[in-house]
Amino acid sequence: MNGKCKKPDRYKSNLPSTSVIICFHNEAWSVLLRTVHSVIDRSPAHLLKEIILVDDFSDMPHLKRQLEEYMTMYPKVKIIRAAKREGLIRARLIGAKHATAPVLTYLDSHCECTVGWLEPLLDRIGHDTKTVVCPVIDVLDDTTLEYHWRDSSGVNVGGFDWNLQFNWHALPEREKKRHSNSAEPVYSPTMAGGLFSIDKNFFELLGTYDSGFDIWGGENLELSFKTWMCGGTLEIVPCSHVGHIFRKRSPYKWRSGVNVLKKNSIRLAKVWMDDYAKYYFQRIGNEFGDYGDISSRLELRKRLKCKSFKWYLDNVYPELFIPGESVAQGEVRNNAFSGRYCLDSPARKGDTHKAVGLYPCHKMGGNQYWLMSKYGEIRRDEMCVDYAGSDVFLFPCHGSKGNQLWFYKPEEKLIQHGSSKKCLAISENKKKLQMESCNSKVLRQQWRFENFNATALLVT
C-alpha cells in the first residue's frame, strides 16, 4: 500500500457509517461469499451499519434457503428479494430504499475489499456530502481468482466517448498539478459504475438513477454527469482498493428484442447533454425508437438548476475531442465498384493496430462513422487512422501529425497521406485498403468524405 495512506491522522475521527449494497443475479456461491466476507472482515465495525444483499430474481438454488441460513450467522447482513427481474439499476434502488446509514456504498457481487478500503472513501464524504467517491478497481483474475494489486500512484480516471461508452485514461497534467502526492483523491469526469460511495441524501437530491433505465448500462454516466453538473464532485480515491472480476462476457440473459443499452443512452443524452447529444445521435443513425417518457427527468434537472453540458466539458473534461470542431463527419465512400464500399473499422479505444478495412456502405454510422479533425486527422473518437509504411490501421491519436496526418482534396477526391505523400486506395481485388502513388484519374483512389467543410481546416 502507498505509505502515505497509512498515516494514522489521515482521516477524520467521526466518519459517517455506511450501508453496503450488493446486488446479484445468479452469482456463484464462493464469489458472493468472498465479497461479503471481505466487507465484514475489512471494514471497521462501527462504520459498517449493514450489508444489504439484493437478489435480482436469481434462480440458482444456492441463493435461496442456503444463503439465508448461512447469513443468520451474520446479523448485519440483510437479504432483500426482488419480485421480478429488475435489472441492476432498479435493483440498486431497491437496496437504497432499505438502507438506514447516511452513506450508501455499492459493490458488485464479485469483489474483494482490501484492508483499509472503507475509511478513505467515507472520509471524503465526511468532509463534503456532495463528494461521490470510487475506489481504485483492481483485477481479480477471472480464471484463477487471484488478486492483482495495482500500484495506484499512476491512477487512471474515467471518461467516455461519443458512443457513450465509458473508458479509462491517464491522469491529465492539469489534475496532476493540483496534487502534492499520489495518495490524494483525484477528480474523475466519470465513474466505471459498480463500485462507489455516495451520501444517501445527496443521491436522493440528484433523483437517484433514472428508473427508466433498463437492466444495465449508461447509469454510471448519468450519475457522473449530474454529480458534476448539479453541484457535486466525483473522485477516485487512490488509498481505497477493491478487486473486481471482469468477465469476458455477460453471464446472464438480457431482455431480447430491445437494445437496452441504446435506449438508456438515448435517455441519458436527451436529458443531460444539451446540443452535444447530436454527436451520439449521429452515431446511431438518428434512430431513436421508443425511449419512454423523459419529462420528469428534465424537470429534475431544471429544479436542481444544474449547469450546462458545455460547462461540464469545459471544466471537468476539457481533454475530450469535440466532433463539432471537425471538418468532416460521416461515411468515407469510395467511387470505384459503383460506390458500394466504405471505410470501416470495428476498432474501439485501446485496440491498437486494428486494420482499417472496407465494407459495403450501410449508412448506420457505427464502424463507418469517421471524423476529420481540423488538424488533418481521420478519427474515430480517440483513435486515428495511421500509416507507417505497411497496412493502414487505427492507433491512439498522438496529436503530433506525422503518420496520422491526411489531406483531403474534395476536387480531386484524393485522401493523401502527410508524411509518405501516397494516396489511400482500394486494392484492385476490392479486398483491402492500400497506399498508392497519387493519381486522381484512378477511381479506386477517389473518396467522398461526408459533410466536408474545407474552411474549418487548420492544415493545408
| Nearer Cβ to Mn ion (108/112) | 108
Question: Looking at beta carbons only, is 262 or 417 nearer to ligand UDP?
Answer: 262
- Residue 25 as a binder of ligand UDP (CB under 6 A): the answer is yes
The pattern of x and - marking residues 91 through 110 that bind Mn ion according to CB under 5 A reads -----------------x--
Smallest separation, CB 218 to ligand UDP (Å):
11
* Three cell numbers, residue 311: 460547462
Grid coordinates standing for 309? 453540458
Q: Which stretch binds ligand UDP (CB under 6 A): 247-255, 278-286, 320-328, 353-361?
A: 247-255
Tell me the closest approach of the beta carbon of residue 163 to Mn ion, in angstroms: 20
Cα–Cα distance measured from residue 382 to residue 321, given in angstroms and rounded to the nearest whole number: 7
Total residues belonging to the chain: 460
Kindly state whether residue 91 participates in binding ligand UDP, applying the rule CB under 6 A. Answer: yes
* 219 lines the binding site for ligand UDP (CB under 6 A): no
Q: What nine digits make up the cell of 264?
A: 438508456
Taking CB under 5 A as the rule, does residue 27 contact Mn ion? no
Q: Looking at 246-254, 319-327, 425-433, 442-450, which segment touches ligand UDP (CB under 6 A)?
A: 246-254
- C-alpha pair distances (Å), 315 with each of 158, 247, 308, 321, 375: 15, 34, 11, 14, 23
CB-nearer residue toward Mn ion: 140 or 269: 140
Binding mask 108-147 for Mn ion (x = CB under 5 A): x---------------------------------------
Compare residues 23 and 51 and give the one whose CB is closer to Mn ion.
23
Cβ atoms of 148 and 142 within 8 Å: the answer is no
Q: Beta strands of 164-297 (E only): which ranges?
A: 166-170, 186-187, 196-199, 233-245
- Residues 189 and 228: beta-carbon distance below 8 Å: yes
Q: How far is the CB of 90 from ligand UDP (least distance, A)?
A: 9
Instruction: Examine residue 256 and tell whether it contacts ligand UDP (CB under 6 A).
Output: no
CB 186, CB 236: distance < 8 Å: yes
Helix, strand, coil share (%) of the chain residues, nearest 5: 30, 25, 45
**Environment class of 193 (CB within 10 Å of its CB; exposed 0-12, middle 13-18, buried 19+):** buried
Residues found near ligand UDP in the complex (CB under 6 A):
23-25, 27, 56, 87-88, 91, 108-109, 193-194, 215-216, 247, 250, 252
